[in-house]
Structure 1
Amino acid sequence: MAIDPSELKGRKLGRVLSKLGVTTREQVHEALAVQKTRKVPIGQLLVELGYATDTDVARALAGQSGMAYVDLAGVDIPSDVIEAIPADNAQAYQVVPIEFNPKAKKLKIALKSPNNFRAVDDLRLLMGFNVEAVVADEALIDSLLKEHYSRNESVSDVVSSLASDEKFKGLAASGGASIDLDAVLEASEDNQVVKLLNLVLLQAIKDKASDIHFE
Structure 2
Amino acid sequence: MADWLERFVEDGTIGESQLEEARQMAASLGITPEDALVRQGYINGSDLGRAQAAVFNYEFMELEGVQIPNSIIEQISESVARDNVVIAVGNEGDAVVVAMHNPNNMDVLDKLRFLLNKDVKVVMATMESIQGAINRHYGQTETESVDTMISEFTEKTIEFS
TM > 0.5 fold call:
yes
User: Which residues of 2 match residues 65-104 of structure 1 at below 5 A?
Assistant: 65-101=56-92, 104=93
Contact 2:72-2:90 within 8 A present in 1 as well: yes
- Measured in 2, the distance between the counterparts of 1:86 and 1:74 equals 21
- Measured in 2, the distance between the counterparts of 1:94 and 1:148 equals 13
Distance 1:33 1:82, change over 3 A: closer
Distance 1:53 1:144, change over 3 A: closer
Give SS of 2:120's match: strand
Q: Please, what TM-score do these two structures have when normalized by structure 2?
A: 0.66
The residue aligned with 1:34 is: 21
Kindly state the Cα deviation for residue 113 of structure 1 after the two structures are TM-superposed.
2.7
Equivalent position to 1:120, from 94, 98, 109: 109
Distance 1:22 1:77, change over 3 A: farther
Distance 1:131 1:22, change over 3 A: farther
Give SS of 1:56's match: helix
Deviations 1:159-207 (A, max 9, x none): xxxxxxxxxxxxxxxxxxxxxxxxxxxxxxxxxxxxxxxxxxxxxxxxx
Kindly state the Cα deviation for residue 129 of structure 1 after the two structures are TM-superposed.
1.2
Kindly state the Cα deviation for residue 145 of structure 1 after the two structures are TM-superposed.
1.7
- Measured in 2, the distance between the counterparts of 1:12 and 1:120 equals 25
Kindly state the Cα deviation for residue 97 of structure 1 after the two structures are TM-superposed.
0.4
Identical-residue share of aligned pairs (%): 25
Q: Please, what TM-score do these two structures have when normalized by structure 1?
A: 0.52
Q: How many residues align?
A: 136
Rg: which structure is higher?
1
- Measured in 2, the distance between the counterparts of 1:37 and 1:22 equals 20
Distance 1:122 1:30, change over 3 A: same
* Superposition RMSD in Å: 2.8
1:110 aligns with 2:99: yes
Kindly state the Cα deviation for residue 99 of structure 1 after the two structures are TM-superposed.
0.5
- Measured in 2, the distance between the counterparts of 1:74 and 1:58 equals 17
User: Which residues of 2 match residues 141-156 of structure 1 at below 5 A?
Assistant: 141-149=130-138, 150=142, 151=145
Distance 1:36 1:50, change over 3 A: closer
Distance 1:75 1:33, change over 3 A: closer
1:12 aligns with 2:14: no
1:132 aligns with 2:132: no
Kindly state the Cα deviation for residue 46 of structure 1 after the two structures are TM-superposed.
3.9
Q: Which ranges in structure 1 are unaligned for 5 or more consecutive residues?
A: 1-10, 153-215
- Measured in 1, the distance between the counterparts of 2:44 and 2:110 equals 30
User: Which residues of 2 match residues 21-60 of structure 1 at below 5 A?
Assistant: 21=11, 23=13, 27=15, 29-34=16-21, 37-38=24-25, 39=27, 41-47=32-38, 51-60=42-51
Kindly state the Cα deviation for residue 77 of structure 1 after the two structures are TM-superposed.
0.4
Distance 1:49 1:127, change over 3 A: closer
